Amino acid sequence: MSVSGEAAPGFDELFTAYYARLARLLYRVTGYAGRAEAVAAEAFWRLHRKPPPTKTNLEGWLYRTGLRLALDHRKMERRRARYEALASIFGIGRMPDRTFETGAEQERVRQALAALKSEQVTLILLRNEGLSYGELAAALNLNPASVGTLLARAEQAFRKEYVKRYGQR
C-alpha cells in the first residue's frame, strides 16, 4: 500500500512508467545512449533485487540510484583514461606487431573468466576497474571485512582455471 491508500504499483508498471525518463536523465551524465540504458537497467535491477524499506518515493529512489551508478561509471572512465595516458607517457602503448597477440590473450582471459562463478567474475572485474575494497563491499552488498578474502579466492580460482586451460604464462 502506498501512503495515499492506493495499491502500490507493481515492478512492471514502475519500469514502464520510469525507464525511458531515467535513461534520458542518465544520458545527460554518461553521454552515451547505450551506457545510459545499461545503467538505468542496473538501477531497476537493484530495485527488484533489494527494494528500499519504504515505497513512498520509488521514482526518487530510482533517480538517486541511477545517478550514483552513472557517476561511478564516469569516475571509472576518468580513472582508466588517466592510467592509459600515463602508460603512453612511459611507452607502454600497443605495438602493431603485438595487437594480434593481445587480442588472443584477451580471448583466453575471457574464456577462463567464463568458467568461474559469477560472483567471482564480478569481484575480479570490478577490482580491475579500480574499485577499492570499500567500494566493492558497497557495490556487492558484502561485509567489508570479507572482501579481501573473497577477492583472493576469486583470483586464485582464475589462475587455476587459466593454468588448467593454457598452462603457465
Residue with cell 584477451: 106
Largest CA distance in the chain: 68
Residues 133 and 102 reside in one and the same domain: yes
**Listed residues 40, 60, 88: the one ending a domain:** 88
When pLDDT is averaged across residues 23-44 and rounded to a whole number, the result is: 89
- pTM tops 0.75, yes or no: no
Domains in the chain, number: 2
Cell numbers of 21, please? 525518463
**Listed residues 88, 104, 137: the one ending a domain:** 88
Residues 120 and 157 reside in one and the same domain: yes
Domain with 137, as residue range(s), is 95-166
In a domain, 110, yes or no: yes
Q: Residues 93-134: pLDDT tens digits?
A: 555 555 556 667 777 887 888 888 888 888 887 788 777 898
Q: Cβ(47)–Cβ(11) under 8 Å?
A: yes
**Listed residues 68, 88, 108: the one ending a domain:** 88
Q: pLDDT band at residue 166, thresholds of 50, 70 and 90?
A: confident
Cell numbers of 134, please? 570499500
In a domain, 100, yes or no: yes
* Closest to 23 measured CA to CA, from 34, 35, 37: 37
Q: Cβ(62)–Cβ(15) under 8 Å?
A: no
Name which residue leads in pLDDT, 133 or 140. Answer: 133
pLDDT over threshold 90, residue 42: yes
